[in-house]
Every structure is written in structure tokens, then in C-alpha cells.
Amino acid sequence: MERKGLDCVVLNQGYACVNGRVLEHEAAGNALLAELYRNHIADWPKFFKMDTLSKAGFVASELLFKEIGDNRHEGDEFVQNRAIVLFGSTASLCADRNYQETIQDKDNYYPSPALFVYTLPNIVTGEIAIRNHYRGETSFYVLEEPDAAQMAFHLSCAFQDGATDSILAGWVDSTQNDDFQSFMTLIQKEDAADAGWLAGQLQLMINNLNK
């Protein structure tokens, strides 16, 4: 019997797709993330305070959970043992630039605390963990480019801690405020046992990042 592929959400500045179904939208860039939030999520106002990297990761994760009916129940065991492992290539560069603009001019030097808090790439994992009450590992790896084999390797390693049962995994990248790519998937322990199969699944998602 053919094995079912992983559920996935793929987003970029002009594209939103859930398990192969393209979501209708009017906006592009950062406004697309706001449109997706308003149309499909709408109950987490902190979204509007996030940087583009966190917004892209947050929206992708929410669309994925909505698709697979993964509801949040703080007491559930899967919540306790779920990790978040994300990858990207430019880390928090976009947020770093936004923050730098607030400290660039010595005569207009007003460092923004709200921008500063996003000058680390792993903040996106924290935003998702807070939303879902996850208490497992959260990691953000910086890779030169999306690399399915390397990502599958790191994800397999994350299951070796003896506690992790599932991982919210994906690629999240933002080079400018209106320019982003992300995919998000949920991996169970048995999925990672076959690293070749997992890498193949991730490669399919990577192939769709530039649609």
C-alpha cells in the first residue's frame, strides 16, 4: 500500500497552498499574510506585532493545524512532547535591518524594543510554541539553501532525545518585509525512521517554495 504523504502548507509573497489546494487571495507580500490571518485565523491579535518571519511561520502553522484538525489542548500528551524545528537561510536579517533603521541616525536615535525582540530567528519558534502551549524542543537552523537531506537528518536527530513524539517542521525565510517563503509540515516519529522517504517529502515541499 502506498504511504500517505505528509500534510503541508506552502506560502510565499504571492502564493498560499494547503495540501495542494491553492487558497484564493487578493493581496501580496506582507498584506497577503494579514489577509490569510483575517480570513482563516483571526483570534490572535499579537500576529500584527510580529516581524515578517514570525508571521510567515505562524500563518503556515495555523493553516496546517486547521487542515489536519490538530486542536490545542494544553493537557494532551502530544502537546508536551511536540518539538518545533525550523530552517531558513537569512535568519533574522529582515528584522535586523528594520531595527537598525531605528539606531542608524545619531540625531534620531530611538531604538525600538518591539523591533529588537525579533532580531533572533528562533523567535518564530517561540511564537508558535506560545500559541500552542508546546513545551518541547524549539530550534531554528540556518542553512545556505533548502536542503532536504540535511533537514531530514536534523529532524531525525531531534527524535533521539527520548521525549519528542512529533515535530512541527518547516522552512521559513524572509529577505525583506514583503518577501518571504515558508512551508510547514507535521512529522511523527515513525516518519523520521525512514530518512530517505522523509527527505523526499521535504523535497516536494521545497520544489513548491518558488511557485
What x/- string results for residues 109 through 128 when contact with other proteins is judged by CB under 8 A?
-xxxxx--x-----------
Quick check: 49 binds other proteins (CB under 8 A)? yes
Quick check: 72 binds other proteins (CB under 8 A)? no
- Which of these ranges, 44-52, 73-81, 85-93, 120-128, lies near other proteins under the rule CB under 8 A? 44-52
- Cβ distance to other proteins smaller for residue 120 or 209: 120
Task: Specify the 3-state DSSP secondary structure of 99.
Answer: helix
CA distances from residue 52 to 22, 105, 161 in whole angstroms, order as listed? 21, 24, 31
Residue 38 CB, nearest approach to other proteins (Å): 9
Q: Give 179's Cβ-side CA count (13 Å radius).
A: 7
- Cβ distance to other proteins smaller for residue 28 or 117: 117
- Cβ distance to other proteins smaller for residue 68 or 120: 120
Quick check: 23 binds other proteins (CB under 8 A)? no
CA distances from residue 145 to 11, 150, 155 in whole angstroms, order as listed? 17, 10, 16
- Cβ distance to other proteins smaller for residue 48 or 78: 48
Task: Specify the 3-state DSSP secondary structure of 136.
Answer: coil
Taking residue 165's Cβ as centre, other Cβ atoms within 10 Å add up to 15
Q: How many residues bind other proteins (CB under 8 A)?
A: 10
Residue 113 CB, nearest approach to other proteins (Å): 4
User: What type of residue is 147?
Assistant: D
Q: What is the 3-state secondary structure (H, E, C) of 141-176?
A: EECCCCCHHHHHHHHHHHHHHCCCCEEEEEEEEEEE
Quick check: 45 binds other proteins (CB under 8 A)? yes
- Cβ distance to other proteins smaller for residue 110 or 144: 110
Q: DSSP state, 179?
A: E
Quick check: 105 binds other proteins (CB under 8 A)? no
- Which of these ranges, 41-49, 86-94, 180-188, 194-202, lies near other proteins under the rule CB under 8 A? 41-49
Torsion angles phi and psi, residue 53, rounded to 5:
-60, -50
- Which of these ranges, 55-63, 106-114, 157-165, 176-184, lies near other proteins under the rule CB under 8 A? 106-114
In 3D, which of 135, 128, 136, 130 has the Cα closest to residue 170?
128
Binding site for other proteins (CB under 8 A): 34, 45, 48-49, 110-114, 117
